[in-house]
Structure 1
């Protein structure tokens, strides 16, 4: 007897696709997930990411709180540490802008002095400017999360590249390298390939593409027992828009600059030397700001960035007759809540108003 086809296809097994598939299965809705490469090895790649509640848009603060709760649930369900309990630290003028929003939302966040800052990030050079701690922030254990979610799918995960998505006879046809299937519902979470795949559905996504580099540096000496994440907007160490997150065990710290390099429509880099320059700048920043790290990186991660025009944390979901299309940047922290919202929409409960493009969620 042939197994019935699942009613939903998810294209892409990065963190958003995996979160959506998991949320659908929590509802008892079967799903097939297409992924052409290793799950989580595209824009979701790397050993750690920052979980933070701090955003410029209060709606994103609330969304982050919902995702943090889901991460806790996953930790219990999947038997993993999903987010470390080290906290998230921010230094610089962003503290003055974002701390009041966190306090208004009831997030456990507060100012900290130079002494507590040194205890939370003992690798950091001396700094006595504005600083805050988000107690429930921390380093997302990306590898553990991706692996657990992907393994839970079993044979629902199909290793194949999707070439086209289109409407046919009231259904959504998905053509991949080795099969052609039709579904009542499709969720496209394909990263930088998303705009291409949904163009035949009449959707033009205002996604700005770029490339980014993140370096990992070894901790010199014994790993500290506590190592909070860092966002540095201060300029005190020669750069602004710096972020860092610890790998499991605190033996290394992944550091990146928020700056990116532009790309053409065919994904070629406008200025290939810029990636090398960004890597050099990150290493020089480490030499000035993080003397507790060996300044020679032990790992490098290059990845694509898909940013919406209203902000670095912008997020939206487009719809087209049975197809849902999330897009945005910095989505690892928001993915658990976003996955549940997408599952709600598939189940007929409607898409949350804040996720519609006209809401400009995450606007700076």
Structure 2
């Protein structure tokens, strides 16, 4: 006989991916409890740029990034850095990343990423409508800016790939850019506007709204730090730091950058690393921002949220334990002042968060190697919010033994 307190599903992780999966499972008639070490929206789901970047079909692991990486790595405050204290530990992951940059693997990853983006875009608005969050959706586009004709031409292979997939964009000069986003510094001579780029009013408020919707439908969210999973006769046992255990018929592991630690308890070694992202959120009147602006050559974006203007991005491969280096936030803000001369830089709040990243830029979505009762859903890198609704659909399909809408073999947690 089933324990009345034992849910059908325990979701580990109350970020946007975990909560979206919990809601999707709940909609299939399953009883669901969510466990999280800090509570809803405590990690990257709170501090991201708020974009649904469905046009970002190209993996971070690519020949283009290899060309830029040596120059970027020489600047400790640049778009890509590895703290010296973490260099030895990150080396195996970097080797896998380098291998994923081969043309054949990039083509494979791009095809998988494209399918995931199409699914996520198709699922998004129905999911927002069902959760009462549709009014938070914005469709203001994205403006990628360049400092020369040569920089624009260097980006062309990526735009060619998007064009083949039917993604709408248009290249433009400074005058047309000014019509879309006034106030750019004259150093930016070219740009590409992508109108199909969506965003959310505020990622933290959105994730908290999902938590409230989940609770209103009878779901429970509990604060607990999960350390291990163990299979039992009729399900899976969840062990926590305080010595308590919980049981459920099925588990969804969506604990972001901490997921691989928990997966180890099932005998799996998944090369998940942490892209530490930094930002500064300024007051809402800091700049008259009309669209999200991407400064790709410098590795950061400026986004208008309902709660302020967020300046952030870049990648620091520094793991989970090193202290934050907020000089990175300061460096991006200083550049933003130069790039947007009217920007008011005062009154900001700094943030650092962990983006869970796998070497080939694809998430891990699928069943654990040792038990079909555990479903993994982590490793989305920069695209957790973007792919949250699509991931939720795939997870719900797996939990209810339905055929996934897309081929999930490229996302296999065991592909490494």
TM-score (norm 1): 0.84
Match of 2:304 in 1: 246
Equivalent pair of 2:284/2:306 in contact (CA under 8 Å): no
Structure 2 match to 1:151: 212
Match of 1:298 in 2: 348
**Which of the pair is proportionally richer in helix?**
2
- CA gap 1:309/1:2 in 2 versus in 1, 3 angstroms: closer
Structure 1: 4+ residue segments shifted above 6 A: none
Instruction: Report if the CA contact (8 A) 1:95-1:131 is conserved.
Output: no
Where 2:21 maps in the other structure, the secondary structure is helix
1:243–1:256 CA contact under 8 A, matched in 2: yes
Question: Which stretch shows the higher mean deviation, 161-170 or 175-184?
Answer: 175-184
Deviations 1:89-118 (A, max 9, x none): 223447413222222222233223323322
Question: For residue 237 of structure 1, what is the aligned residue in structure 2?
Answer: none
Q: Among 230, 236, 239, which residue is 2:293 paired with? A: 230
d(CA) in 2 for partners of 1:247 and 1:344?
A: 33
State whether structure 2 residue 188 is matched by structure 1 residue 135: no
Match of 1:327 among 353, 368, 378: 378
Alpha-carbon separation, structure 2, partners of 1:207 and 1:76: 33
Provide the secondary structure at the position in 2 that maps to 1:34.
strand
Alpha carbon RMSD of aligned pairs, Å? 2.7
Correspondence for 1:31: 32
Give 1:293 deviation, angstroms.
1.4
List alignment gaps of at least 5 residues for structure 2: 59-109, 147-151
Name the count of aligned residue pairs.
343
In the aligned structure 2, how far is the partner of 1:355 from the partner of 1:43? 21
Counterpart of 1:16 in 2: which secondary structure? helix
Deviation at residue 210 of structure 1 after TM alignment: 4.4
> For the structure 1 residues 68 and 123, does the alpha-carbon distance in structure 2 shift closer, same or farther, using more than 3 Å as the test?
farther
CA–CA distance in structure 2, aligned partners of residues 6 and 88 of structure 1: 42
> 1: CA distance between counterparts of 2:311 and 2:114?
23
Change beyond 3 A, Cα 1:193–1:357: closer
| Cα distance in 1 for residues equivalent to 2:131 and 2:233 | 39
Q: Which of 259, 267, 281 is residue 202 of structure 1 equivalent to?
A: 267
Secondary structure of 2:138's match?
A: coil
Structure with bigger RCO (C-alpha 8 Å, 6+ apart): 2
Are residues 82 and 356 of structure 1, via their aligned partners in 2, closer, same or farther at CA, if it must alter by over 3 Å? farther
